[in-house]
A and B are shown apart, each in its own frame.
Chain A
Amino acid sequence: MRAIGLSSYYVLVKEIASELRTRYALNALLMFVVTTLSVIVFSLGSEHVPYEIYCGTLWVIIFFSAMSGLSRTFVTEEERGTTLLLQLITSSNSVLLGKLFYNVILNFAITLITAIAYLILFNDFVVRTYSIFWLTLLLGSVGLASASTILAAIVAKANSKGTLFPVLAFPVLVPILLTAIKATILSVEGGMFNEAFPDFQVLISFTIVIIAVSFLLFDFVWKD
């Protein structure tokens, strides 16, 4: 157990160091968030729209940025032929765990940036219960990232990776997206913290189940 922890930590460190050096995913994702946000700003103009729309579009941006960024961890390994190196130096579980943590960190960072931009840009988007809002963002993005990680591992082994990823991921992620949107609406409406409790339960149990299944399946997916 300790061995897996340690080697997955080095996989995570390698991912972060590689990202900081190439700045590929981070820059692309930030630009993605900026462009989609400005499209929404331009199309709304000075229009007043129901707050549900804001909650929905917030998660649309988070979903699509996850779709464009989270498959990279596995796809780049496959494209550059470094998969074989990782297979040769460590167990598949540590690879999965390391990459899972990396995707969670990346996705949560993007989610936070998007949410803060939302709060600043849209005056009509007023969150009344911040505890629900932040916790939803955290749990939602962790859930998105964990389901995306195992799907990215599958996609990396197939052809036409770029278009395939959202197609595979959407039906799997629907329960998370719908629950997260619902909890976000609740936070805007000023619901009590315990009203959002069932939603958090769904998000947490979904994440746990997906991660457990990922560990069961990853060995089949990772090795040829």
Chain B
Amino acid sequence: MMSFSRSLKFTCLSAALVLGACTHKQEAVNTAPPPAPPPAPSAPAPVTSSILPGSAEDFRVNVGDTVHFGYNEYSIQDTDKSILGRQAAWLAKYPAVRVSVEGHADERGTREYNLALGARRANAVKEYLVSQGVSTGRVETVSYGKERPICTESNEGCWAQNRRGVTIVTGGANS
């Protein structure tokens, strides 16, 4: 039940984030040879076969946009370093792309504290990307504190999902 509702939420969120890309994708189907199917089919089925390399959706689906943090922590976990390494490599391949890193916290903190904690997390992601060669001017940060959960139950499963840093392509991507 929980995983069902969770996957629903992910789908909605994905749809919201790639709405712009989805529109353009229909054109890509008509004009370009179909690329290989993506390995992580979490986007709506009708568009998964048409991800344009260098697009925001390419980044989100084929690279991975989200890393997670421990409770009240903001250091990058070893298990997330490969995702950030892939993000840096992708950004090196598409040097016109600019990104914004969103830092989020779980509900176990006061509003202002969690804004500050989200800023620490977003900055930790940014610093890691910069350490991998991404120029600092291409990466903005923004904290949402506990204001934008993706999961709303009060348990560790949800909290772990909500303690996250999400890299969003904000400009310069192929479309």
Q: Do A and B come from one complex?
A: no
Residues of B within 8 A of A (CB): none
